[in-house]
């Protein structure tokens, strides 16, 4: 495979994965399909307009290229639907932050965030505790 194609892979486990195909290689007795950026197709309620959603195939992954033996694959279909291609591409654009997020200025005020240090507040609270009337003080302390 010389050009990268976005395809849907149906696995023998029943999962359907959308990914970018890289290559098919013969490795001894095995034929290996290499792909990247896999997303699992999750079927949704049929009453909604969009009947599927895309979510990560592997939650924790270290590799960017995945390989699977073709005996674990039922079928591979090239994706030509513009809506699916657009959603797939936009998912990874968001994921790798090709569109930079606007930088926000972070300011602190007395209403939120840092108000003071613990030592100052400790002194104030101890003074309040000492100044209260004796009938308000707990007897067991």
- Return the higher-pLDDT residue of 97 and 67: 67
Q: What is the mean pLDDT of residues 45-74?
A: 81
Domain ranges in the chain?
5-95
Residue 79, Cβ density class (10 Å: 0-12 exposed, 13-18 middle, ≥19 buried): middle
* Residue 99 scores a pLDDT above 60: no
Q: What's the rounded Cα separation, in Å, for the pair 124 and 73? A: 69
Select from 95, 15, 85 the least CA-distant residue to 57: 15
Q: What's the rounded Cα separation, in Å, for the pair 91 and 99? A: 12
Residues in the chain: 141
State whether CATH 2.30.30.100 applies to domain 5-95.
Answer: yes
Reported pTM? 0.59
b/e sequence 53-64, b meaning 16+ C-beta within 10 Å: ebeebeeeeeee
């Amino acid at each position: 495979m010389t050009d990268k194609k976005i395809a849907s892979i149906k696995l023998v486990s029943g999962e359907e994965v959308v990914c970018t195909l890289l290559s098919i290689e013969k490795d001894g007795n095995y034929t290996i399909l290499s792909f990247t950026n896999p997303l699992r197709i999750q079927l949704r309620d049929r009453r909604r307009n969009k009947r599927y959603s895309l979510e990560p195939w592997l939650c924790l992954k270290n590799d960017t290229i995945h390989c699977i033996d073709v005996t674990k694959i039922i079928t591979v279909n090239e994706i030509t639907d513009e809506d699916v291609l657009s959603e797939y591409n936009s998912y990874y654009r968001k994921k790798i932050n090709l569109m930079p997020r606007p930088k926000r200025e972070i300011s602190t005020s007395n209403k939120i965030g840092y108000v003071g240090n613990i030592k100052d507040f400790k002194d104030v609270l101890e003074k309040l505790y000492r100044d209260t009337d004796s009938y308000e003080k707990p007897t067991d302390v």
